[in-house]
Amino acid sequence: MKKLVSVLSFFILVISVQSLSHAAEETPSIPYFGVGATVQEVIKGEYLVKTEGAKSEEGFVYSPPKPFQNERIKFQITLKGKGTVILKLEETNARGQYIKEKTMEVALTENWSTYEMTYTLESPTSQIDAMVTTKSQEKATFTFKNLQIIEE
């Protein structure tokens, strides 16, 4: 019986390790990518963005992974920091071809503020890049949380 328990324990351990390693491999890293900038999760759900200052329009980008159900969407994000940033939605079709974009200028504050920008897609099959970038060439630092692309 003891031997059986040992054998079972061994198998359970093996399965657990495999599951863990598999999970580790498949765990998505941060879905926000720096554009001439670094993106770092400072505390859970809050991300710090530091631009290099090499050129304007540095910041980060996020692409919703799932296809949309309808054309009306809303880009919502909570930000804090200094200076002015640009919120931008850029639409490409399913083949990657650029369709159009919409931008909104935001003056950051030291307190958290939530911003929204509505957008009408050319087609629900389109892909969207949601970006927050600097307006001009500068070394900027800002923090964000609660980024959402909401279908209306």
Choice between 29 and 111, CB closer to other proteins: 29
Contacts of 10 (CB under 8 A, 6+ apart): none
Choice between 55 and 82, CB closer to other proteins: 55
Q: Which of 1, 5, 98, 105 binds other proteins (CB under 8 A)?
A: 98
Structure tokens at 61: 């980008």
Choice between 78 and 93, CB closer to other proteins: 93
CB 53 within 8 A of CB 138: yes
Residue 69 engages other proteins in binding (rule: CB under 8 A): no
Q: Which of 1, 44, 66, 96 binds other proteins (CB under 8 A)?
A: 96
Quote the CA–CA distance of 23 and 151 in Å, as a whole number.
30
Quote the CA–CA distance of 58 and 127 in Å, as a whole number.
21
Least gap, CB of 101 to other proteins (angstroms): 8
Contact code string over 1-40 relative to other proteins, x by CB under 8 A:
------------------------xxxxx-x-xxxx----
Q: β-pairing, 113-120 with 72-81?
A: antiparallel
* Start-to-end CA span in the chain (Å): 60
Q: Which amino acid is at 2?
A: K
Please list every residue from 121 through 150 that binds other proteins, using CB under 8 A.
Answer: 125, 127, 129, 131
Least gap, CB of 112 to other proteins (angstroms): 26
Residue 141: beta bridge partners?
50
Residue written as token pair 């909570």: 78
Which residues make up the interface to other proteins (CB under 8 A)? 25-29, 31, 33-36, 57, 61, 63, 65, 90, 92, 94-99, 125, 127, 129, 131
